[in-house]
Chain A
């Protein structure tokens, strides 16, 4: 599985935007970029995913670099509820039948009131 690199931790203030970076310099053409988050005492939760173009949904935006070697998850206005560990994961749609996720260490986001 292709590797991603994320900062161990980040801090933000409530109601400010948050940009969570992810490096994936060995990404292949068939890798999709997925983001999940894990709130305290809960299971991981799907946030967003993309291949080449920037993506928006009700939770966040995903900005993908033109060379696809990095991406940024954008939370437009952080709330206390957004405090979680955020995981950037590459998923290959040609992996021969298994859709499993391979989690790294993620970025622990702290949101200050």
Chain B
């Protein structure tokens, strides 16, 4: 058990809809990362937050947004969903007090857009 909790585990929705994925990091970890894993693209970095502030941005679409709250949990909002957004979405957290700390991943949310 990595200590990172993601909810829900599965989500099925229709094209054009909006969903919110939630992540609770390991206790004490200030950084949260979001990744998307699809069959053809592999694991793609989306965005990182550190203590409530955006720290790094990757291949995140404009239809997607994220935030990290004062209690350090994070949410990834996906809107105007398309079939191609179907993927596994992983959240990870790390203790940025260390140099290049390991990332601890949750078990993901599987999003299916129909």
Residues of A that sit less than 8 Å from B by CB: 32, 34, 36, 38, 41-46, 49, 87, 91, 93, 97-106
Contacts and interface: CB of A to CB of B under 8 A. Distances in A.
B94 A99 contact: yes
Interface string B73-113: 00000000000000000101010100111111111100000
B64 interface: no
Contacts of B4: 43
B55 interface: yes
B105 A99 contact: no
A97 B30 CA distance: 13
Contacts of B92: 43-44
Contact of A43 (B42, B55, B106): B106
Contacts of B94: 99
Given A99-B31, A100-B58, A105-B42, A46 B102 contact: yes
- Give the dominant DSSP class at A's interface: loop
B48 interface: yes
Main DSSP-derived SS at the B contact region? strand
A97 B102 CA distance: 15
A106 B108 CA distance: 19
B108 A99 contact: no
A97 B101 CA distance: 12
A51 B107 CA distance: 29
A104 B42 contact: yes
Given A45-B2, A97-B56, A98-B55, A103 B43 contact: yes
A98 B56 contact: yes
Given A100-B45, A101-B103, A103-B42, A43 B96 contact: no
Given A43-B92, A98-B55, A101-B45, 9 more contacts: A42-B105, A43-B108, A44-B92, A97-B55, A97-B56, A98-B48, A100-B56, A103-B44, A103-B45
A46 B100 contact: no
Nearest to A105: B42
A91 B100 contact: yes
A71 to B, nearest CB: 16
